[in-house]
Amino acid sequence: MTRVLAIYITLAFSLFLCGTECNISFSTSGATSNSYNTFIKALRAQLTNGATAIYDIPVLNPSVPDSQRFLLVDLSNNGNNTITVAIDVVNASVVAYRARAARPYFLADAPDEALDILFNDTRGFFLPFTSNYVDLEKAAEKSREKIPLGLTPLHNAITSLWNHESEEAAVSLLVIIQTVFEAARFRVIEQRVRNSISSKANFIPDPAMLSLENNWLAISWETQHALNGVFSKSIQLRSTNNNLFLVDSVSSSIMAGVAFLFYNCVTFPNIIKMPVNVVMGKEIDNEICAVQNRTTHISGLEGLCVDVKNGLDSDGNLVQIWPCGQQRNQKWTFQPDETIRSMEKCMTAYSTSSPENYVMIYNCTTAVPEATKWALSTDGTITHRRSGLVLTAHEATRGTTLTIATNSHSPKQGWRVADDVEPTVTSIIGYNDMCLTANDDKSRVWMEYCVPSKNQQQWALYSEGTIRVNSDRTLCVTSNGHNSSNVIIILKCELKRGDQRWVFKTDGSILNPNAELVMDVKNSDVYLRQIVLYPYYGTPNQQWLPFF
């Protein structure tokens, strides 16, 4: 342990000292999925060095000393060509590159600091386009979905820029930006490149990848302005099959694939507890994030929605679960004052846990204020502030009245705050780029090489936090106990069980909130065919990625 700690201290110290004089490198010659992963991790570590975090996602530093403003990345190929790409650590964007004969080329939107600092030992040249995708595609006379990616295109892009083939510069930069820097931003894109390297096959960016690239700034903005993790509006993304799905909060499983965010504002201290961003010993003097409220659905057991009974807005009317629709009595607004409102009335509860302690709506101005305060956690729990009890649906049937009860961390107490109420179907990629796999009831789950068409590797993620076998949605991923090293198996879904609720964390882990332990490939050995509960250490055998 002491040796590991010493390594981390040495790495952290070297990153602190590293400015433009420090390069990280990657070569396509002999590249493997693992060597590419090591390179991307090093790139992320440099970009997020000294960054603060929100919901455990690093936020890029908005202000850094000139000596640390730009990061140099050496890219080489088996043709002995090496280019040096300069990126701005403030936004992880390419600003320039140095090619053959040490000749530098600057993109048209490179900041003034880049011209003063980078490659100033020789005369530079300006490219006739910016780093914006619209501009790059126009210059390339090709859209991204028509430009192959992978090791061979990266090799060719390096050669082209090394020789400064001006007619191919925009295409080459599109290859490099997506293969390297978008992969640093998004673990999902990194995974696509890793799959390509392993299969030795090029690939075309699919709708899922393109929608992530187009929405990094929107994801960054919404995350920093979120109210208890809930976005002010839905972000529309696409699956690999071009199906629309919505990201409404930090608790969305897709957020596990976001490696870092662009800085927008100082986080509101009363909403998100996180350290103050400090650069060179001084607090950044930027505006506080204006937290946005949100009106949306709340879905839970079996995808049923929180609903004001019969749509009546009278004080004391019950709150229940009901099939989801667009009616106004299923629209709930999360307010900064910790109230949750529908039809201008507040969700309200008394402070006992008796079965008669139902949840109702009540006039916000005449109700006991403490009875109307709720806290939404990123694990999907909605806690009544006054009592410490949590919002609960005791049955998965329409018309079930909601109560507050002691938190058992079971699916009956899990909620998704989003307009997208349908289960999300995905594969789950983990250790050694293999997929989580299961057969049937009472079997263990294990890791196998990913096969896109394989039913045993398709999972349905439900609003209440269950992970279900997609081909038989009565079967749930279940921990066989709540202690460390207990095996994870498949059992019939029983929605009162705390061992069937799971949370995709932004750190890449899958947490069982009942046990406070995460999914772990036992001993980092896929051949044991065992996935177990284990304390979180952030090791590769505890990293999981939904792959839509």
Is 74 within 8 Å of 25 (Cβ atoms)? Answer: yes
Mean pLDDT, residues 298-316: 98
For residue 316, the tally of other CB atoms under 10 A from its CB is 12
Give the count of alpha carbons within 13 A of 374, CB side only.
Answer: 24
> Is there a domain that residue 267 lies in?
yes
CA dist 544 and 55 (Å) reads 17
Question: Which of 147, 180, 201 is the C-terminal boundary of a domain?
Answer: 201
3-state secondary structure of 40: helix
485: amino acid identity, one letter: S
Range of the domain at 51: 19-201
Please state, in angstroms and rounded to a whole number, the distance separating the CA atoms of residues 505 and 378: 9
Q: What span, in angstroms and rounded, lies between the C-alpha atoms of 20 and 3?
A: 29
Secondary structure of 377-427 in HEC code, one letter for each residue: CCCCCEEECCCCCEEECCCCCCCCECEEECCCCCHHHCCEECCCCCCEEEE
Confidence at residue 481, expressed as pLDDT on a 0 to 100 scale: 94
Per-residue pLDDT band for 469 (boundaries 50, 70, 90) equals very high
Question: Do residues 413 and 428 share a domain?
Answer: no
7-11, 22-26, 173-177, 242-246: segment of lowest average pLDDT: 7-11
- 163: how many CB neighbours lie within 10 A of its CB? 12
Residue with tokens 């440099």: 46
pLDDT number for residue 353: 61
Q: Which residues are catalytic?
A: 182
pLDDT of residue 279: 28
C-alpha to C-alpha distance for 424 and 440, rounded to whole angstroms: 20
The reported pLDDT for the residue numbered 17 is: 40
| CB 297 within 8 Å of CB 332 | yes
Is 5 a member of any domain?
no
DSSP lists the bridge partners of residue 209 as none
Reduced to 3 states (helix: H, G, I; strand: E, B; else coil), residue 466 is coil
Q: Is the dihedral of CA 375, 377, 382, 385 positive or negative?
A: negative
Q: Are residues 88 and 186 in the same domain?
A: yes
CATH classification of the domain holding 167: 3.40.420.10
pLDDT of residue 267: 67
pLDDT for 286 beyond 70: no
481 & 538 share domain: yes
pLDDT value at 272 more than 50: no
Asked if residue 260 and residue 161 are part of one domain, the reply reads no
Is residue 6, in this structure, part of any structural domain at all?
no
User: Which of these ranges, 181-195, 267-281, 415-429, has the smallest mean pLDDT?
Assistant: 267-281
Of 183, 201, 219, the one marking the end of a domain is 201
Clarify whether residues 169 and 223 are in a common domain.
no
List, for residues 154-173, the tens digit of each pLDDT value.
999 999 999 988 889 999 99
Domain count, the chain: 4
Any domain includes 163 = yes
Residues 309, 252 within the same domain: no
In a domain, 2, yes or no: no
Residue that is written with structure tokens 């640093």 in the block: 184
pLDDT over threshold 70, residue 1: no
- Say yes or no: 103 and 135 in one domain: yes
Asked whether the predicted pLDDT for residue 463 surpasses 50, the reply is: yes
Domain boundary among 395, 417, 439: 417
pLDDT at residue 432 tops 60: yes
CATH of residue 298: 2.80.10.50
* 332 and 381 together in one domain: yes
Which residues, in sequence order, are CB contacts of 472 under 8 Å at separation 6+?
440
Separation CA 191–CA 450 (nearest Å): 12
Please write the tens of the pLDDT for every residue from 434-451.
Answer: 999 998 777 999 999 999
Output the pLDDT for position 355: 58
Contact 319, 298 (CB under 8 A): no
Tens of pLDDT, residue by residue over 110-153, are 999 999 999 988 888 999 999 999 999 999 999 999 999 999 99
Q: Is residue 491 part of a domain?
A: yes
What's the whole-number average pLDDT of the chain?
Answer: 90
Give the side-chain half-sphere CA count within 13 A for 472.
13
Average pLDDT over residues 485-500: 95
Q: Which of 452, 497, 446 is nearest to 476 (CA)?
A: 497
- Looking at residue 252, its amino acid is S
Alpha carbon distance 467, 253 (integer Å): 11
473 in Cβ contact with 438 (< 8 Å): no
Q: For residue 23, what pLDDT band results from cuts at 50, 70 and 90?
A: confident
Q: CA nearest 227: which of 272, 261, 263?
A: 272
Question: How many angstroms separate the most distant Cα atoms in the chain?
Answer: 80
CATH number at residue 268: 4.10.470.10
Task: Determine the pLDDT at residue 277.
Answer: 30
**Are the C-beta atoms of 254 and 260 separated by less than 8 Å?**
no
Q: Is residue 289 in some structural domain?
A: no
**Would residue 278 count as lying in a domain?**
yes
390-392 sheet: strands from edge to edge: 374-376, 382-384, 390-392, 403-405
List, in sequence order, the alpha helices (H) in 18-132: 33-47, 112-117
Q: Are residues 88 and 188 in the same domain?
A: yes
User: Does 130 share its domain with 243?
Assistant: no
Contacts of 389 (CB under 8 A, 6+ apart): 349, 351, 353, 383, 404, 405, 406, 407
| pLDDT value at residue 108 | 97
Task: Provide mean pLDDT across the span 217-240.
Answer: 94
Distance CA 401, CA 451 (A): 43
pLDDT greater at residue 313 or residue 166: 313
Please enumerate in sequence order all residues whose Cβ is within 8 A of that of 417, keeping only pairs 6 or more positions apart, or say none: 229, 230, 248, 249, 251, 294, 296, 297, 298, 332, 334, 376, 380
pLDDT (0 to 100) of residue 455: 93
Classified as helix, coil or strand, 87 is strand
Are residues 267 and 343 part of one domain?
no
- Same-domain status, 182 and 57: yes
